Amino acid sequence: MKQLLKSILFLLLVTSCTEPYALQSEDFEEALVVEATLTNEFKKQEISISKTYPLENIQTSIEKNAIVFVKDDLGTTYNFIETDNKYISENEFQALPNRTYQLFIKTANGNSYVSNNQTLTKNNTIDDVTTTVRTINGQKGVEIGVNHKDPDNASKFYRYTYEETSKVTAPKWVDSELKLQITAPYYDIIYALIYFELRTEEARVCYKTTKSKEIILKETTKQSQDIVEKFPLKFINYKNYDIAERYSILVNLYTQNLESYTYYKNLKKSAENGNILSPSQPGFIRGNITCVNDNNKKVLGYFEVSSVSSKRIFFNYFDVFVDENNLPDYFNPCNIVELEPYDYEGFREDGDEKEAITLRTKIKNKSLIYYDKYFKSNGTITFMLVEPPCGDCRVIGSNVRPSFWID
């Protein structure tokens, strides 16, 4: 969601008028982007701080060397340390009921920012994460839903995130790979020695993990009871290989107050609007963080103190699609390319190296990897190669089995 926050703020800051014109970099106004949610989980809490950036920039602008801390109404201070482009609390702690919390940020350029006071919301528990086979817009798939309720009928406002993990097995994996050895006196790819080397790292079975990016909200203010049943979080097409082997999803339920819900609702509306110059554009979305020393400094972001409940489920493909006979096709068609050691693709004279021999070039730049070989009747060897995702799952995910994984 952090990328969404930054993108929306840039669009909102470049103009506030409703007459269309070409966006120019000179319209750019730098602003702080803050993503901060304290929860009732006892852990090291995280805060992300960055800056908006001009159109021509493609890299996230992280706010470095800031002083960040949270203070509660009893005077306890929780310091945050800059770590891996985030600010992580020095010690584990959890937000507690009947306490108020306030965020303080001082940036390297001397600007000071402060949030308003926030109190932990009521705790609600996810009862179940559901899977329902449905056809939506002519597409068959599985809809992931969530059930929860507040017996006190008091919470009303909810935000959801999820993290999904898929098991991926490379279909053309083998236990060895082709390597090149370029040695004296030639130092040239044309004369490189081709040899086999056994793999020393796991490359057959990996785990692909992605986090939700969209803003998912639900309110129950118009219901007589504070009950949420099978609220749809995600729809996955039945032909999607992400669910072909084994799939897991971790759903997080954040109970919000009206103020934080309204902020995220407006943010979601701006993202879905598409045209920042539309008459329905709400303009700059002000959160609950302000610059103390300069009222003109804009901040996108919200300091939220929220109770969170999480639940994870696993399923295999045929657990859900009981009437299907075949698994979805793999991410890649995995077509086999056959090459002999001295197949040529033409010389390139404009560089330091002559890329003349196809096989060696493909091995060097890792655009194809070894799958098998065979010998022709004349004794020449032919290598069978595939694209990397077909023989090395690390192209798709991590080869480290997650600690939560259950087969």
- The stretch 194-214 carries a mean pLDDT of 95
Residue 323 forms part of a structural domain: no
Co-location of 90 and 175 in the same domain: no
Res 370 pLDDT > 70:
yes
Co-location of 18 and 82 in the same domain: yes
Co-location of 11 and 84 in the same domain: yes
- The stretch 248-252 carries a mean pLDDT of 98
Please count the CA atoms within 13 angstroms of the CA of 169 that sit on its side-chain side. 7
Res 10 pLDDT > 70:
no
Per-residue model confidence (pLDDT) at position 61: 82
Q: Which residue has the higher pLDDT, 318 or 59?
A: 318
Per-residue model confidence (pLDDT) at position 51: 87
* DSSP character at residue 316: E
Per-residue model confidence (pLDDT) at position 345: 54
Res 55 pLDDT > 60:
no
- Domain end: 309, 341, 372, which one? 309
Residue 96 forms part of a structural domain: yes
For the segment 137-157, what is each residue's pLDDT rounded down to a tens digit?
A: 999 999 999 999 999 999 999
Per-residue model confidence (pLDDT) at position 14: 38
237 to 142, 143, 233: CA distances (angstroms): 7, 9, 14
Q: Are 141 and 133 in contact (CB under 8 A)?
A: yes
pTM: predicted TM-score of the whole model, two decimal places:
0.85
Per-residue model confidence (pLDDT) at position 31: 85
Res 341 pLDDT > 90:
no
Co-location of 180 and 34 in the same domain: no
CA distance 220 to 285: 24
For the segment 168-184, what is each residue's pLDDT rounded down to a tens digit?
A: 999 999 999 999 887 76
Query: Domain tally for the chain?
Result: 2
> What distance separates the 2 farthest-apart alpha carbons in the chain?
85
Res 304 pLDDT > 80:
yes
Per-residue model confidence (pLDDT) at position 285: 83
Co-location of 114 and 32 in the same domain: yes
Per-residue model confidence (pLDDT) at position 17: 35
Residue 214 forms part of a structural domain: no
Res 63 pLDDT > 80:
yes
Residue 187 forms part of a structural domain: yes
Look over the chain and give the mean of its residue pLDDT values, rounded to a whole number. Answer: 87
Res 21 pLDDT > 70:
no
Residue 354 forms part of a structural domain: yes
Co-location of 291 and 336 in the same domain: no
Residue 362: both structure tokens together: 């493909």
- How far apart, in Å, do the first and last CA atoms of the chain sit? 30
Co-location of 43 and 93 in the same domain: yes
Residue 47 forms part of a structural domain: yes
Res 97 pLDDT > 90:
yes
Query: Pairing mode, if any, of strands 32-39 and 299-316?
Result: parallel
CB atoms within 10 A of CB 304: 27
Cis status of the peptide bond prior to 185, with omega within 30 of 0 = yes
Q: Which of 37-51, 95-109, 270-284 has the lowest mean pLDDT?
A: 270-284
Confidence of residue 351 (pLDDT cuts 50, 70, 90): very low
Co-location of 18 and 115 in the same domain: yes
Co-location of 47 and 97 in the same domain: yes
CA distance 368 to 334: 11
Please give the residue range of the domain that contains residue 380. 169-199+331-395
Could you tell me which of 49, 65, 54 has the C-alpha nearest to residue 30? 54
Per-residue model confidence (pLDDT) at position 187: 59
Q: Are 368 and 399 in contact (CB under 8 A)?
A: no
Query: Is 61 strand, coil or helix?
Result: strand
- The stretch 259-284 carries a mean pLDDT of 69
Share of the chain above pLDDT 70, in %: 82
Query: Pairing mode, if any, of strands 369-375 and 157-169?
Result: unpaired
CA distance 259 to 267: 13
Per-residue model confidence (pLDDT) at position 27: 55
Co-location of 358 and 305 in the same domain: no
Share of the chain above pLDDT 90, in %: 71
Co-location of 335 and 283 in the same domain: no
For the segment 312-326, what is each residue's pLDDT rounded down to a tens digit?
A: 999 999 999 999 999
The highest-confidence range among 56-70, 187-201, 248-262, by mean pLDDT, is 248-262
CA distance 100 to 117: 6
Residue 184 forms part of a structural domain: yes
Co-location of 295 and 344 in the same domain: no
Per-residue model confidence (pLDDT) at position 377: 86
Confidence of residue 1 (pLDDT cuts 50, 70, 90): low
Residue 247 forms part of a structural domain: no
